[in-house]
Every structure is written in structure tokens, then in C-alpha cells.
């Protein structure tokens, strides 16, 4: 059977016929999202980049919009934004610290304004730290690191004089750094159940 047409459990469409890490599995279940929500950090690490970017933009946008009415409803009327657009821009400047549109940073001794700035600044710092952590975890994943480790597409079955069988193939690191303390695991996936009486230990 043509290998390209045959169904594979693990895709090998990467360079040098390496694995892309994509499993041909469909996970179904009405409670699947609950399990992902329990481990939301790794769920965010493994989602696609467009979805992650859209989620990050949504989180920042919701934060800016949430604080905008509070800036507009400040008690100190002489120093509050003139309208909702001004409140939105003030909330945006406070969250991203790109400048500040208020003449008096103390809101003319209005404690509510200073407290609101403090809360939104801390919220922005938490969002920034979460985003940096997720981006670092995505960059440090070992899947792409394995792309420079290639192995031969042909193997030999060697039988020693004492009757033991060995499966021989070559693996090499394409980078100049050598691999140390290598541990290799191999799995056999069969479409038909194997007969234990006919199994050969390799």
C-alpha cells in the first residue's frame, strides 16, 4: 500500500519524513472543555497561534473597556475624562503606560482616581506576566527541537550467533552539539492484533 495514502496514527510529513507531532485522533465528549479548563495553562500553550493572539487581544480589550466607565464615573468631575472616548483612551494609556492624558496624576486629591489607576496597572502587569509565561513555554517546547534529530528510513534486522535479534538503524544530530545520555523508545503499532505465540522479542 502506498504510504502517502495509508492512514497514519502519527503524521510524518515534516522534513526528512520526521514527525510533526500531530496525532490522527479525535477527542470527543461533552465534558472535554472542563478537563481543558482545569489545566488552562497547558491548554493555552498548545492552542494555535491565531487563536492565542485573538485571545490575548480580547483579554486586553475587555480590560480596557471594563475600566473605561469607572474613569468616566469619577467623583472629581473637574479632572475626569470629558466623554466615554476620553475615558477609553485614558484606560488604554493607563494599562499600557504609553503616556498619560491627565494634567494632574493625583486627580486633585481624589483618592478614587489614584486607586483606579493602581488596580488597572496591577491588572495589566498580571496580564503581561501571563502572556510572557505562555510565550516562553511555547518557545521552549521540545517538539521543534527534535527536528534536527534525524534517523535512517531503512533498518536492518541482525541475528547474532546466540540467536538474539537486533533492530539496527542510525540516528544523528544535525547540529554541531553532540547528544549525551541518549534514551530511545520504540513503539510498534499494528492494525491487526498480534499473536503472543508468534511474537519475536527484539
Q: Cα separation of 93 and 108, whole Å?
A: 19
State which residues form the domain around 59: 32-143
Q: What's this model's pTM, rounded to 2 decimal places?
A: 0.59
Average pLDDT, the chain: 76
Residue 48, domain CATH: 1.10.287.70
User: Would 11 be classed as within a structural domain?
Assistant: no
Query: How many domains is the chain partitioned into structurally?
Result: 1
Q: Is residue 166 situated within a structural domain?
A: no
Q: Is residue 199 part of a domain?
A: no
- Whether 122 is in a domain gets the answer yes
Instruction: Write the DSSP string, 13-47.
Output: -SGGG---S-B------TTHHHHHHHTHHHHHHHS
Would 201 be classed as within a structural domain?
Answer: no
Among 81-95, 101-115, 117-131, the least confident range = 101-115
Cα Rg, the chain, nearest whole Å: 29
- List, for residues 87-97, the tens digit of each pLDDT value: 888 888 888 87
Amino acid at each position: 500500500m502506498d504510504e502517502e495514502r495509508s492512514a497514519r496514527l502519527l503524521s510524518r510529513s515534516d522534513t526528512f519524513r520526521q514527525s510533526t507531532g500531530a496525532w490522527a485522533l479525535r477527542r470527543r465528549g461533552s465534558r472535554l472543555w472542563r478537563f481543558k479548563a482545569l489545566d488552562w495553562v497547558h491548554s493555552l500553550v498548545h492552542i494555535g497561534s491565531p487563536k492565542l493572539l485573538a485571545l490575548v487581544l480580547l483579554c486586553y480589550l475587555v480590560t480596557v473597556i471594563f475600566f473605561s466607565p469607572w474613569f468616566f464615573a469619577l467623583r472629581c468631575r473637574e479632572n475626569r475624562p470629558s466623554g466615554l472616548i476620553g475615558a477609553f483612551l485614558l484606560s488604554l494609556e493607563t494599562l499600557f503606560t504609553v503616556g498619560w492624558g491627565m494634567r494632574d496624576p493625583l486627580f486633585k486629591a481624589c483618592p478614587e482616581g489614584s486607586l483606579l489607576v493602581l488596580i488597572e496597572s496591577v491588572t495589566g502587569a498580571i496580564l503581561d506576566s501571563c502572556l510572557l509565561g505562555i510565550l516562553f513555554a511555547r518557545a521552549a517546547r521540545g517538539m521543534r527541537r527534535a527536528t534536527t534529530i534525524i534517523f535512517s528510513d531503512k533498518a536492518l534486522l541482525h541475528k547474532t550467533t546466540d540467536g538474539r535479534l537486533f533492530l539496527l538503524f542510525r540516528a544523528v544530530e544535525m547540529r554541531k552539539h553532540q547528544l549525551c545520555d541518549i534514551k530511545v523508545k520504540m513503539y510498534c503499532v499494528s492494525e491487526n492484533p498480534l499473536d503472543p505465540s508468534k511474537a519475536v522479542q527484539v
